Structure 1
Amino acid sequence: MRNAILLVCWSMMFQCVFAQNPSISGTSGAINTAMAGIGASVANEWAIFNNIGALSAYQNILPSAMLSFENRFGIKALNSYHFGIVSPIAFGGAGGITFQRFGDKHFNQTQVGIGYSHQISLVSVGAKVNYFQIAVDDQIGITQGARSNFLLELGGLAQLSKKWAVGIYGYNFTQSKLRVLDAGEDRIPVILKAGVSYQPIEAVFLSLETEKHIDYPATFRTGLNYRIHKYFYVRTGISTEPFLSAFGIGFHPKDFAFDYALNNQSALGWVHQFSIRYALRKLKLREEKINE
C-alpha cells in the first residue's frame, strides 16, 4: 500500500513537471535554454530540435554533432539527454537526425527524429518525423510496459529584413496519441510556438516568443544573446507560466562550442544544462577540394 501511494505521488510530480516544461518537446541546447527557452525565431544548429523550419535559415551551417545534458532540481530521475547531427544537403536545404531521452529506468521518454528544412527566398520551412515512446517499470507490478507512436513537427522562419525575423513552430501536428490497454488513449502534447527576433547589430540578438500547450495557459518568453568577445557570449531571459529567470554563457572557439545555462524556478529550484557542438569543418574543406 505504501509503495502504491508513493507511485501515485511520483506520477503527480511527473505530470506537474511535464505541464510546466515538457522534457522531450521542450527546448534543447544551452544557447536557447539560457534565453528562457526561446526557440521559434532562432536560426542555429539547435533548430533541428527547437524549430526545424529555422534550420536552413542558418547561413553558417556546417556538418555538426551536438550533445546536451540537463539536470532538473538536482533529481537524477529528471535528467535528460539530447544528441543531434545536422548537415547542409547537396541538393539544397539542411537536415539532420536527433535522439532525446528523459527520465530513468523506472519512467522514461525517448524520441528519435529525422528532419529536413529548405529555404525559398527569405522564407525557410521544414518538417520532422519523430518516433515517440514512454516506458514505465515501477517494480511493484502496477504499471509496466512501453507505449509509442509517430508524430510530426512543422516549422518556418521568415527573414523580414536584415534585423527582423518571425518564426512559427508546431509540435505533434498529427495530434498523435498513445494507446493504453483497457484504458482508452493518452494524448501526446500538442504545442504551438510563435516568436519574433531583432538583431540591431551583429553582436546583439533579442527575441520575444509565446508558447501554447493545448491544455495549459500560454507562456511568454523574452531572451537576449550578447557576444562580448570574438569567442565569448552571455545570455539571459525570463519566462512566465511558471515564472523563471535564465542565465548562461558560451565559449565558441573555431569548430567547438561550449555552452552552459542556469534556470531558476522559485517553487522548485535550479535547472542546469550543458551542451557541446563540434563542427566538422574538415569535412567541408575536403568536399571543396574534391569539387575543385
Structure 2
Amino acid sequence: MTKIKVKSTVLTGWQKTLLIGGFYLLVCSGVRASGEPFPIGARSWGLANATAAMADKQSVFNNPAGVGFLTENFVHTAYHSRFNLAGLQTFALGANYVHRLVNTGITVERFGDKLYHEQKLGLVFAKSIDRVALGIKVSYSQAVVENLSSKHTFVTEFGVISKLSPKVQLGFNAYNLTRAQLYISQRIPTVLRLGLAFQPSGQLLLVAEAEKDLDFPTLIKMGLEYQLVRNFYIRTGLTSKINDVHLGFGIKAKQFFFDYAMSNHSMLGFSQHFTLAYQLNKTKPDTKL
C-alpha cells in the first residue's frame, strides 16, 4: 500500500515537471520569458510593435512617455491569443488620466493558466514640457507555478519622446534597467528600444524601431498605418526575423475604438490580437502618432 502511494506521488511530480518543462521550451523558442515586456494592444501588433516613438492610448503599456502627450482619457482592454495554444493567452486592462500637473496611468496584465501564470500591476507617471515628454512606470510583477513556487518583484521602466517636428517623433524606452529577477536562474530581460515615427500626411503613418534585449541580437521593426476611409485604418509591419509578418486594422465609431491584428511566428504559427477602447471625454481630437 505504501509503494502505491509513493508511485502516485512520483507520477504526479513527473507530470508537473513535463508540463513546466514544456512551458520553458516555448520560452526558449522565443514565446516569452518570465516578466518580459510583452507588447499590449492590437494596433501595436499590426505595426510590428514599432511603438517606442508613438503617443497613443496604448502608451501606458508600451512607452510611459507617450502618456505625457495624451490630451484625453481612455479605458481599454486587450486580449492576445498566441499560436492557438492553451495557457498562452494574455488579458490586459489599462486606463490613463490627464491632469495639468502630471498625467497618470494604470495597467493590469495576466498571462498563462492555472499551472503557470504571471500577473502585473503597473502605475505610470508622465509629464510633457514643450516638445519633450518623460515617463516612468513601476510594476509589481508576480509569477506562480501551481503548488511549487510563487515569486514577485518590482520592475521599473523609463521612456522619453521628443517631437522633432510636427510630423516626426523620436522615442526611447528602457525596460528593467535595475535588472530585477523573478527566479535566480532567469533574470527578467532588460530591453532598450529606440524608435522613429513619421506622419507625412493625416492618412499615413510610418514607424521604425531598433530593439535590443541585452541577451539577444538587435531586432529591427517597421510598420505602416494608412487611413483607407474615414475612421477605418489598415496596418502592416515587418521585423528582421525571417517570415515574421504583421497585419491588422482599426475602426473608430464615435468614442469607441476597435483594433485587430494577426501576427505569425516562423515555427509556432499565427497569433491573434484584439483591443477595445473607449474615450471618456471628447473635447479634442485623439493623438495620432
- TM bracket, shorter-chain basis: 0.7 to 0.9
Deviant stretches of 4+, over 6 Å: none
Number of equivalenced pairs: 271
**Deviations 1:80-129 (CA, angstroms, capped at 9, x unpaired):** 011101121142x4211000111111111111000111111111111011
Q: Which residue of 2 aligns with 1:25?
A: 37
Change (3 A) 1:22 1:188: closer
- Structure 1 residues 174 and 26, CA gap change in structure 2 (3 angstroms): same
Task: Give the structure-1-normalised TM-score.
Answer: 0.87
Counterpart in 1 of 2:5?
A: none
1:154 equivalent to 2:167? Answer no
Partner of 1:289: none
1:88 and 1:6, CA in 2 relative to 1: closer, same or farther beyond 3 A?
Answer: closer
The alpha carbon displacement at 1:6 in A equals: 4.5
Q: What CA distance in whole angstroms lies between the structure 2 residues aligned with 1:243 and 1:190?
A: 25
| Among candidates 111, 115, 119, match of residue 106 of structure 1 | 115
Q: Which residue of 2 aligns with 1:14?
A: 27
- Give the 3 Å change call, closer, same or farther, for CA 115–226 of structure 1 in structure 2: same
Contact 1:217 1:241 in 2 (8 A): no
What is the TM-score of this pair, normalised by structure 2? 0.88
Is the CA contact (8 Å cut-off) linking 2:83 and 2:269 kept in structure 1?
yes
CA contact (8 A) 1:24 1:109 kept: no
1:37 maps to: 49
- Name the CA shift for 1:192/1:22 in 2 (closer, same or farther; >3 Å): farther
Q: Does the Cα contact within 8 Å between 1:73 and 1:268 map onto a contact in 2?
A: yes
Is this contact kept in 1: 2:35–2:141, CA < 8 A? Answer: no
Between the aligned partners of 2:205 and 2:194, the Cα distance in structure 1 is 17
Taking only the aligned residue pairs, the percentage that are identical comes to 29
Secondary structure of 2:51's partner?
A: coil
- The answer to whether 1:188 aligns with 2:192 is no
Root mean square deviation of aligned Cα: 2.0
The unaligned stretches of length 5 or more in structure 2 are 1-10, 285-289
- In the TM superposition, residue 275 of structure 1 has moved relative to its aligned partner by 0.3
Which position in structure 1 is the counterpart of 2:281?
281
| Whole-angstrom distance in 2 between the partners of 1:55 and 1:242 | 33
DSSP 3-state at the match of 1:9: helix
